[in-house]
Structure 1
Amino acid sequence: MIETFLSFLPLFSILSLLFLFKKSSIFTGMFTLILTALLAHSPFFHKSTTALLHPMVKTSFTTFMILYILFFGILLFYLMEKAGAIKKIASFISLSTNDRIYQVLILSLGLSPLIESVSGFGLAIIVIAPILLALGFNGIQAALLSLISLCAIPWGTLALGTIIGAELSNVDLDMLGVGSALMSFPLYIYFAILVCTIAAGKREVLKRLPEIIFVSLVLSSSILLCNKYISVELAGLFGSLITIIVVFTLIKIRNKTPDISSTEKLTFIKNISPYLLLTFVLLTSRMIPSFKENLNNTFNIKRENYDFELPLLYSPGFFLILSCIFATILFKLSIPNILDSLKLSVQKCFPVILTTFLFIFIAEIMATSGMIHILSNFAAYSFGAYFIYLSPFIGAVGGFLTGSNTASNTMFIKLQTQTAAEIGSTPLLAACTQNVSSSMIIMINPSRVTLSTSVCKVEKHENIIQKKMIFIVAGTLSVLALEIFLFSLCV
């Protein structure tokens, strides 16, 4: 019994420091890391100091893989922002139609997922919230719409959190991607109806419900097909681009397209071309077997002792580097702009990487010392077959507290999958539930809400927005719980 109590202490430390004492993620990670190491070294777990060296090295390798993708994803965003490309893309999309339903579908289910898929960490809010305000939405509407638009986070930063989740849980990445996409189908319908209701009201939504559902299915189907037949990393980027194209097609069919000159169209293509290049090179590397094999076997860092492999030229990080170089040349960015973009990327990246390292290290120590195994046994004994219904709420806690699918998966995905195995459930279902619930609940993370209210200049109404988002998140968790129930009936 004492081992179970001590095993729970690291999780209790994380929850209490973040939620009750409002400490930063870095402080929480450092404090909990020290606590976890001391517990592992205690007579109850019998781990020597040298035994902790293995999880530390393994954590370092995993963190480097994250850094390789994350830094260049953020850098691409800042390079394009310095060039004015992001504003021009947003302006073109927002001015392409006066129809509020189409406007919000393009921005919330198209542009926002596009930016999150490449850069992540809430940067899409900074882009679409000002556009919504310029289109005549009030501050509260703009804040809510920008938060709900963070709906493609399982594939944010080229599916970084999903990749780490698959690696830590020993679940096949393609299966985790496909499972997460299937689980997201009803959620995208839910989010599409929500954003359109906020934008245009219930009556307009009821009139055009089939059209709204169709667009949500385009996004979810595109993401699913890309996960299944192309690559998990490309799914969010591919799905958002397809959605933008489809909505533009619907606008044209309904004859609601303002006069847009050929020059403006070419300018739009130029501004979005770094994303198009990224999509093309990723697609090529995943679809041509010989090219894929050569990239995988060239500059491949392998450490079998730590179950680590990073093919530098096959990783999304390499293609992000190419896109960054392309953007720099295309927009003729000056040296000061490049240096400033690098500086901003380091500032944005450093706390995220440090926090991720700390949480992964904590999880690795807990796994090595047997704490995860003890907790999974306890959860299996306490909840039995009903544990799987608790799974979405565990993922939600991780997403809410950390604001990162990568960090949340690091904390909880091993516990989820091991407990699922203990109770005779499917570890893949637990991993998908963790991945999706963690991602979708990030839209209510305090830092995201604060960012949205700040950009929309409605800081005084932050509590109102937080309460509204709580109801939205409650609906999200209810949908996930219903999905699990229906799955259990089919098995």
Structure 2
Amino acid sequence: MIRNVSMSALLPVLALLPVLVTIGAIAARRSTLVAALLGLGTALAVAALAFPAPAARWSGALGQWLPVLLEVLVIILGGLLLSEAMARTGRQERLARWVGGALGSGPGAALAVVHGVAPFAESVTGFGIGVTLAIPLLVRCGFSSRASAAVGLLGLCAVPWGSMGPGMLIAAHLSGTGFRELGIATAIANGPVFVVVGLVVALLTAEPGRRAPALLAATCSGLVLWASVLGVNLLVGTAPAGACGALATFAVHLLIHRLRGARLHADAGLARAVVPYAVLLGGVLATTAILALLGAADGPGRLLGSPALWLLLAVLLTTRPRLLTEIGAAAARRWVHVGPANGLLMVLGIVMATSGMASSLALAASHLGPLYALVLAPVGALGGYLTGSNSSANAMFAAPQAQVAQLAGIPLLPAIAVQNASAGIFLMPSPAKIELAAQLCPDPQEARRALMPVLCAALLALALLTAGLLVLQGMVEG
């Protein structure tokens, strides 16, 4: 009896080992790939020793997860290909010049970047491209290195939809929620994030005597992005919601600038620069609509509307053949650093879920009961902060969070939406992103001082997510 009790107490500790090994390796400044390998190796060893599962369960998991894993890896590659193509063809620079000329300066320009330009770039490509596009643009608009770095980092506010949503796809499958349903729930949860980052940007960029109107503009801008992202999730689908929502918000800012007398000049060069984005968004939106009309949105045919396909087509159809080899080689080199790591972390999550390790952790954590709602968002934030990737954070924590939430009586869909949103929030102050922002500024030392306002925004948004989850839980229990 004593042995059985001690073994049952030991199982959650063993189940936690793969996560601790992965986090420890990242904290020790090992690469995410090495951390993922160590974590996965530990998980396989623990599964073999303490969580044996029948072969049928493993083969079923392989059949269920292999298509999802491949889709995620192709989406990541497609985002990198599009990023390289936009940079090497000069289209990104052409767009940046036009945007800089259209926005002018002041808080209005910063809000257009944080709620429009950066979220759009991040949503269609991912991997911090929103930061690399936004910061040089902000420096051109006359902002200091500190303000440029902070606004650029806060522009990662729509990271759950980054690269057309592979992180969301991982979270949906690992938690057993629907992709579209999770997209809608995350859009609702992420609303306060949009508003908070806008308010911090207003405080950073407005003159002391002009902060009240800037804060009002920031609130309105955040609400427009919130409504746009939620509306696209509801009416069209999850994958293009971040890009379309940000594009709509940027259009509102341009309209306001135009009404104030700004002149917006468009030419053939600008039209050519936006063609890849038009192919990507047009393809995803049109195919998704057609599949919905045919009733094939949930079958194998849904891959025709996947960003995996349209990211590749956007590059192939809009890039000169002689550049494709160069672009493909550069994207492949970058993919080696991010693709396998994300894939291995996803496999780690699958192994933990299939073997029963996630269930063991969930059972142990469920003893907190409703109080686990206080822990759920910080756990997601820890994943985002350490890995610097929404996909990786969801791969590590979505399955355990889902099981704990169910055992603790927390509504599943909102819980995973909070996990998804909180992981995205803490990418903003993560060490890798702070250093990326600093290197893009004229004064890197001053730019590193952006950490404090970005961290304050992240902590405030995290507190609001936790408070919202507690209120929702209280309503369900009441």
**1:450-490 CA distances to partner (integer Å, 9 max, x unpaired)?**
11111114443565333443222211211112222332343
317, 323, 326: which one aligns with 1:340: 326
- The answer to whether structure 1 residue 204 and structure 2 residue 182 are counterparts is no
CA contact (8 A) 2:149 2:447 kept: no
Distance 2:253 2:57 in 1: 55
Distance 1:348 1:244 in 2: 29
Note the C-alpha offset of 1:206. 0.8
Q: What's 2:385 paired with?
A: 400
Note the C-alpha offset of 1:374. 0.8
Note the C-alpha offset of 1:180. 0.7
Distance 2:199 2:19 in 1: 36
Q: What's 2:35 paired with?
A: 28
Aligned CA distance change for structure 1 residues 357 and 213 (closer, same or farther; 3 Å): same
Q: What's 1:171 paired with?
A: 177
CA contact (8 A) 2:170 2:394 kept: yes
Identity, % of aligned positions: 24
CA contact (8 A) 1:40 1:369 kept: yes
Aligned CA distance change for structure 1 residues 467 and 186 (closer, same or farther; 3 Å): closer
Aligned CA distance change for structure 1 residues 279 and 486 (closer, same or farther; 3 Å): same
- The answer to whether structure 1 residue 8 and structure 2 residue 16 are counterparts is yes
**1:101-129 CA distances to partner (integer Å, 9 max, x unpaired)?**
22112222111111111110101221121
- The answer to whether structure 1 residue 490 and structure 2 residue 475 are counterparts is yes
Aligned CA distance change for structure 1 residues 37 and 425 (closer, same or farther; 3 Å): same
194, 200, 215: which one aligns with 1:194: 200
Q: How does 1:131-142 map to 2 (within 5 A)?
A: 131-142=137-148
- The answer to whether structure 1 residue 287 and structure 2 residue 295 are counterparts is no
Q: What's 2:406 paired with?
A: 421
CA contact (8 A) 2:206 2:214 kept: no
Q: What's 1:247 paired with?
A: 253
Aligned CA distance change for structure 1 residues 445 and 341 (closer, same or farther; 3 Å): same
Q: What's 1:75 paired with?
A: 81
Q: CA RMSD in A?
A: 2.3
Distance 1:407 1:461 in 2: 30
340, 344, 348: which one aligns with 1:354: 340
Q: What's 2:4 paired with?
A: none
CA contact (8 A) 2:149 2:450 kept: yes
Q: Structure 1 segments of 4 or more deviating over 6 A?
A: 48-51, 294-297
2:392 counterpart letter in structure 1: A
Note the C-alpha offset of 1:289. 4.7
1:363 counterpart letter in structure 2: G
Length-normalised TM-score, structure 1: 0.89
Q: How does 1:367-386 map to 2 (within 5 A)?
A: 367-381=353-367, 383-386=368-371
2:384 counterpart letter in structure 1: G
Aligned CA distance change for structure 1 residues 95 and 142 (closer, same or farther; 3 Å): same
Q: What's 2:3 paired with?
A: none
Distance 1:323 1:235 in 2: 18
45, 48, 53: which one aligns with 2:51: 45
Q: What's 1:304 paired with?
A: none
Distance 1:267 1:375 in 2: 55
Distance 1:129 1:318 in 2: 30
Aligned CA distance change for structure 1 residues 281 and 463 (closer, same or farther; 3 Å): closer
Q: How does 1:122-133 map to 2 (within 5 A)?
A: 122-133=128-139
Aligned CA distance change for structure 1 residues 25 and 51 (closer, same or farther; 3 Å): same
Q: What's 1:307 paired with?
A: none
**1:391-440 CA distances to partner (integer Å, 9 max, x unpaired)?**
11010011011111111111111111111111222111111110100111
Q: What's 2:313 paired with?
A: 322
Aligned CA distance change for structure 1 residues 59 and 173 (closer, same or farther; 3 Å): closer
414, 437, 441: which one aligns with 1:456: 441
- Tell me, what secondary structure is at the counterpart of 2:68? helix
Aligned CA distance change for structure 1 residues 231 and 221 (closer, same or farther; 3 Å): same
Distance 1:223 1:93 in 2: 21
Q: What's 1:213 paired with?
A: 219
Distance 1:252 1:51 in 2: 60
Distance 1:105 1:207 in 2: 13
2:304 counterpart letter in structure 1: L
- Tell me, what secondary structure is at the counterpart of 2:157? coil
Aligned CA distance change for structure 1 residues 368 and 489 (closer, same or farther; 3 Å): closer
Note the C-alpha offset of 1:55. 5.1
Aligned CA distance change for structure 1 residues 221 and 51 (closer, same or farther; 3 Å): closer
2:20 counterpart letter in structure 1: F
Distance 2:162 2:393 in 1: 14
Q: What's 2:304 paired with?
A: 313
Aligned CA distance change for structure 1 residues 3 and 116 (closer, same or farther; 3 Å): same
2:441 counterpart letter in structure 1: C
2:316 counterpart letter in structure 1: I
1:355 counterpart letter in structure 2: A
Distance 1:140 1:463 in 2: 7
Distance 1:113 1:46 in 2: 44
CA contact (8 A) 1:193 1:205 kept: no
Length-normalised TM-score, structure 2: 0.92
Q: What's 1:162 paired with?
A: 168
Distance 2:40 2:234 in 1: 37
**1:34-76 CA distances to partner (integer Å, 9 max, x unpaired)?**
111111111x323589976665676544321112222122212
CA contact (8 A) 2:353 2:400 kept: no
Distance 1:106 1:270 in 2: 22
CA contact (8 A) 2:316 2:324 kept: no
Distance 1:85 1:190 in 2: 31
Distance 2:430 2:403 in 1: 27
